[in-house]
Amino acid sequence: MRIIQISDTHLSRGKPHFADNWPPLAAWIAAQNPDLVIHTGDVTVDGADVEDDLRYAAELMRSLGVRFRAVPGNHDVGDAGHPRQPVTDERLARWRTYFGPDRWIEDIEGVRLIGLDAMLLGSENREEATQAAWLDAVMEGAGGREIAWFLHRPLFLDSPDEPDGYWSVKPEPRARLSELVRQHSVALVASGHLHKAYQTVCDGTRYLWCPASSFLVGPETQPAMAGERWLGAVRYEVNGAALEPSIVDVPGLETYWLDDVIDEVYPPSPANSPAPG
C-alpha cells in the first residue's frame, strides 16, 4: 500500500498565484498510483472567508481520481484565537460540506492513521472537547496497530517546552497531546503549515514536516527554524505495521515566494499578522 501526503496547496479560483503548481502535482500523484492521498491543510488560499476557494479546491482534489482525506489549515477554517478569522461552527460546517469530516481515522494494514483538526486546539470551541474525547477513544481502540497522526500545525518546532507562537500548537493543548503521544508510543506525527521539509525522531516518535507544493516563505516573514525550504510531498510505503516515509521532490513545481505577492494574496492588516503559513 502506498500513501501520498501533500500540504499547503493554497488553491483559489480568484487568486491563482500558485495555480501553476497544481498540474505537475496532480500528474506526479497519478504516476505514484497511491491507495490514499492525505492533504494536511491550507488546501485553499482563503477558504475561511471565501467559500468558492473550498469548492474549487475540493473539485481539484476530486479530479485526482484517488481516495483522499484532508485536515483543515488556518487558511481553510480560521485559527484558534485569531482576531479576524477565528474558528467558528459556520467555518467548520463549510469545510465539512466540501471536504468531509475534519477529523478521521483510516486503518491500513497494521497502521491506524488519525487525522486531527489542529485549528481547534486552544480555540475553546465546543468541538475542541469533542475532538479530545474522540481522540482518546480512537487511540484506546487502536488494537495494537501502529499509530500515525496527521494535522496541519506541528506540535512543536524545537522542543515540547517552547512558548506560544504562530507556527506550532499552543503550549496547553500541546502538553496534553504530547502525553498521549508518549502513552501510546505514537510512531509518527506528520504536519504541514511551515512550508518546510524536515523530519526528526524525538523520544521514539518521528516528527515529519511535509513541504508545501505552492510557495516558500522567506526569512523576512518566517523566523529561523529547522527544516529546508523546498517544495515537494511525502510518500509512505506501508509494510505491515510499519510506515516508511520519504520526503520527495515533485518534478515541475515552480518555486514561488510568498514574500513577492503577499500584498495581493494575504493583504496585511493589523489583525492579520503574521499571515503566511
Q: Which residues bind Fe ion (CB under 5 A)?
A: 8, 42, 73-74, 193, 277
Q: To the nearest whole angstrom, how small is the minimum distance from the Cβ of residue 269 to Fe ion?
A: 17
Q: Using alpha carbons, select from 45, 69, 40 the residue that is nearest to residue 192.
A: 40
Q: Using alpha carbons, select from 267, 233, 271 the residue that is nearest to residue 249.
A: 233
- Residue with the CB atom nearest Fe ion in the bound state: 42
Nearer to Fe ion, 8 or 117 (CB): 8
Q: To the nearest whole angstrom, how small is the minimum distance from the Cβ of residue 218 to Fe ion?
A: 14
Q: To the nearest whole angstrom, how small is the minimum distance from the Cβ of residue 3 to Fe ion?
A: 20
Report how far residue 47's alpha carbon sits from residue 51's, in angstroms, rounded to the nearest whole number.
6
Length of the chain, in residues:
277
Q: To the nearest whole angstrom, how small is the minimum distance from the Cβ of residue 139 to Fe ion?
A: 25
The SS3 of residue 40 is coil
Nearer to Fe ion, 71 or 147 (CB): 71
For 236, the grid coordinates are 509512505
Cell 467558528 belongs to: 88
Nearer to Fe ion, 34 or 73 (CB): 73
Nearer to Fe ion, 174 or 193 (CB): 193
Q: To the nearest whole angstrom, how small is the minimum distance from the Cβ of residue 7 to Fe ion?
A: 7
Q: 18-36 as b/e, with b when 16 or more CB fall inside 10 Å?
A: bbebbebbbebbeebebeb
Q: To the nearest whole angstrom, how small is the minimum distance from the Cβ of residue 195 to Fe ion?
A: 6
Q: To the nearest whole angstrom, how small is the minimum distance from the Cβ of residue 209 to Fe ion?
A: 12
Burial of 274 (0-12, 13-18, 19+ CB in 10 A): middle
Distance in Å from the first CA to the final CA of the chain: 30
Nearer to Fe ion, 187 or 217 (CB): 217
DSSP states of 252-266 as a string? T---EEHHHHHHHHS
For 25, the grid coordinates are 502535482
Nearer to Fe ion, 42 or 46 (CB): 42
Q: Rounded to an integer, what is the distance from CA 138 to the centroid of its chain?
A: 20
Facing residues of 105 across strands? 114
- Beta-strand relationship, 68-70 and 104-108: unpaired
Nearer to Fe ion, 168 or 187 (CB): 168
Phi, psi of 204 (to 5 degrees): 85, -5
